[in-house]
Structure 1
Amino acid sequence: MEHFHRYAQPFDYEGGEEGCLLIHGFTGTPAHMRLLGESLHKGGYTVKGILLKGHGTKMEDMEKVTWQDWLQDAVTGYEVLRRTCSKVYVMGLSMGGVLSLLLAEQYPVDKVVPIAAPIRIYDRKAHGAPLLKYFQKFKMWGGSGESSASEEFTDYKLGYDGFSVEALCHLLKLMKMAEKGLRQIQCPALVVQSKTDETVRPVSAQIIYDRIKAFQKEILWLERSKHVCTIGPEREMMHKKIHEFLQRT
C-alpha cells in the first residue's frame, strides 16, 4: 500500500498501561489525529492511531470499502490495545467519532471522546447519496479548503479533496447505527464540538450528551475551530481538557 504522505500512515506510540485508540474521519488520515496522539504519549499513554481502509492512498480506493470494514478497523485497533493495556480510551474525529461511539456501545470501553461526531449535518443533499451514487461516482468537497497557518496546523491537513458517493452511503449508515445505540453508552464521555463547525451541526453534541447513560459526561464547546478541530487553533486547549478527563477518577 502506497500512502500519499508519511503522516497519512498509522502510528503507534508505546507508553504506559493505559491505551488510547485514535480514529480519523471520513476522507481524512491519521495526520489529523497525530498532534493529539503525540500529546497523549507525552502524558504517558500508549497510543494507537489507525488508518481506515480506503484512506491515505487515493480517493478511488474508497469505492472498495464498506461501513463493516471501517467498524472492523476500529474493533481491531481496540482489541490490540485491550490485549496489552489495563484501560482503553477511544477517541475519534468526525466519522472516527461515530466509530468511537459504536465501540462504546458494543465493547467495554473505559472512556470515550467523540470529537465533531456527525449526528446532524448541514449538507442535506448528502442524504440523497443512495440515489446519487447511480449517476455520480465521486464528488469534490465544496469551498476552497484554504485556511491560514494561524487557524490550522496545515502540515497535518492531509486528506482527500473529494469522496466516493458510494462511501458516503456507508458513512450515513454508521451515523444511523451510532445514534440508535447512544443509550447503551455508560462509560464516562467527553463530547467535543465546535460551535463554528461548517460540516456538523453543533446540536449533534447535545444529542449525544442527552441520550448517553453515562454518570460522568460533559461537553467541551470550542468557539473558533473548523470541523477538523484537532489541527485547529484550540487544539492545545482541547489536549489539556482531554488529559484532565482521562485522569479523572
Structure 2
Amino acid sequence: MSTTYLNFKFILICSLLFTCCSSNPEIDNATMLDGDQIFDASLYNPAQYLVSKAIDNPSAIQKNMPVIIAVHGYSAATFEWDEFRTYSNANADILISQVLLGGHGRTYEEFKKSTWRDWQEPIMTEYNALIAKGYTNINFAGSSTACPLVLDLIQKGAITDNGMKNIFLIDPIVIPADKLLTLIGFVGPMLGYFESTNTATEENYYYHFRPQETLNELMDLIDKVRKNLQNGYRLPLGTQMKVYKSIKDDTADAVSAVLIYKGLKKQDGSAIEVEMIDSNLHVFTRLDGRDTVTQKDRDMQKQVFDDMLQLLQQ
C-alpha cells in the first residue's frame, strides 16, 4: 500500500472525525453566537461584569475585599462563570470581574482573525485596572484555555509579587484529550473550520464553528505553556494556586494537571494543590445549558464553589 494512499486515507478519516462541511460555514445569525446579532452581554454593559468599570472610586473596605477575575475558555463567553457569580452573590462577600477573552463573544470573522495574545489581553487590562485603583486582594479563576493564558502571564512575569492572592484553575488544558488536535496544522488548512455540537442554549454562548486559524492559535499557546512547565518556574511571592481537574473529559487530558503540578511551584519551592474531580465533564463548574446534569454534578459544583470561597476568605 503506497504512502500517498495512506496519507489520503488518514486525511479522510480526520475530516470525518472533525465533521467539517466546507470552507465557508453556513451561519444562522439569529440563533448562533457566530453570527452578527448575538453578542456577549459584557459588551453591552461592561459595568455589570467588570469591577474596574462598576466602581469608580472604591472605598478602603472595597479595596481590601477579595476580587476574583473569572475567565472563560476557548470559543466560550462570560456565561461560563454566571453560575459562580450567582452562587457567590448568595454566599459570600466578594467582588467578581467576568472577563471576556479578546476576539470572543463577537462574530465568527472577528473570532477567526484573533490570536491567543488577543485572547489574553483583556485579562491583563482588568488586572492592571484593579491594581491602579488600589485593590489589594486580587484573585483569578480560569476555566480550560483561560488557564494556559494566565500560566503564560505568570511565567513571563506580568503578574508581580503580591499582585494576586489565589489562582484557581478549572480543567486546565495543557495536553488536549483529542490527540487529533495536534494535527491541526496539517489538516486544518484543508478543511477551513470544525463544527461543534452545542445544545440550543449553548449556541448563544459558544461558537458553533471553530476556525482552524483559532485552533492553531490554541495549539501554539498550549505548546508554549507545556515547554515552560517542563523547564519549571514559580508563582509570584504571596500567590497560592489550586487546580481542579476532571478525571476524564473530552477536551483536556488529565495529564495537564500533572504537568502543572510538576512544573509550577510556590515561591518557596513547595507544591501547589491539585484536586482530581470525579467527573467526565469539561469545565464541570458550568452546568447550565447542558443536556444532562445529574445531582452528583450539582453536588460537585457546590463543593468546589464552597472550597474556592473558603480559600478566598482566608
TM range (shorter): 0.7 to 0.9
Instruction: Tell whether 2:312 aligns with 1:246.
Output: yes
Shift of 1:167: 0.6
CA distance in 1 between counterparts of 2:271 and 2:39 reads: 39
Equivalent residue for 1:91?
Answer: 141
Equivalent residue for 2:122?
Answer: 73
Shift of 1:5: 5.4
TM-score (norm. length: structure 2): 0.68
Instruction: Tell whether 2:117 aligns with 1:117.
Output: no
Shift of 1:176: 2.1
Task: Give unpaired runs (5+ residues) of structure 1.
Answer: 148-153
Cα pair distance change 1:118/1:191, threshold 3 Å:
same
Indicate if the aligned counterparts of 1:101 and 1:112 stay in contact, CA closer than 8 A.
no
CA distance in 2 between counterparts of 1:171 and 1:220 reads: 25
Instruction: Give the RMSD, CA atoms, in angstroms.
Output: 2.7
TM-score (norm. length: structure 1): 0.84
Shift of 1:6: 5.6
CA distance in 2 between counterparts of 1:229 and 1:50 reads: 19
CA distance in 2 between counterparts of 1:94 and 1:245 reads: 21
Answer with 199-208 or 51-60: which moved more.
51-60
Deviations 1:37-69 (A, max 9, x none): 333455222211111122112333211111121
Deviations 1:81-109 (A, max 9, x none): 22231021111111111112223332123
Equivalent residue for 2:107?
Answer: 58
Deviations 1:126-160 (A, max 9, x none): 1222233422221112xx5459xxxxxx6898211
The residue correspondences of 1:10-29 to structure 2 (distance < 5 A) are 11-12=49-50, 16-17=62-63, 18-29=66-77
Q: Tell me, what secondary structure is at the counterpart of 1:231?
A: coil
Equivalent residue for 1:36?
Answer: 84
* Correspondence for 2:205 among 130, 155, 158: 158
Indicate if the aligned counterparts of 2:101 and 2:121 stay in contact, CA closer than 8 A.
no
Q: Number of residue pairs matched?
A: 240
Equivalent residue for 1:196?
Answer: 248
Indicate if the aligned counterparts of 1:29 and 1:158 stay in contact, CA closer than 8 A.
yes
CA distance in 1 between counterparts of 2:73 and 2:147 reads: 8
Answer with 172-181 or 236-245: which moved more.
172-181
Indicate if the aligned counterparts of 2:74 and 2:146 stay in contact, CA closer than 8 A.
yes
Equivalent residue for 1:227?
Answer: 282
Q: Tell me, what secondary structure is at the counterpart of 2:265?
A: coil
Over alpha carbons, which structure has the higher Rg? 2
Q: Percent identity?
A: 20
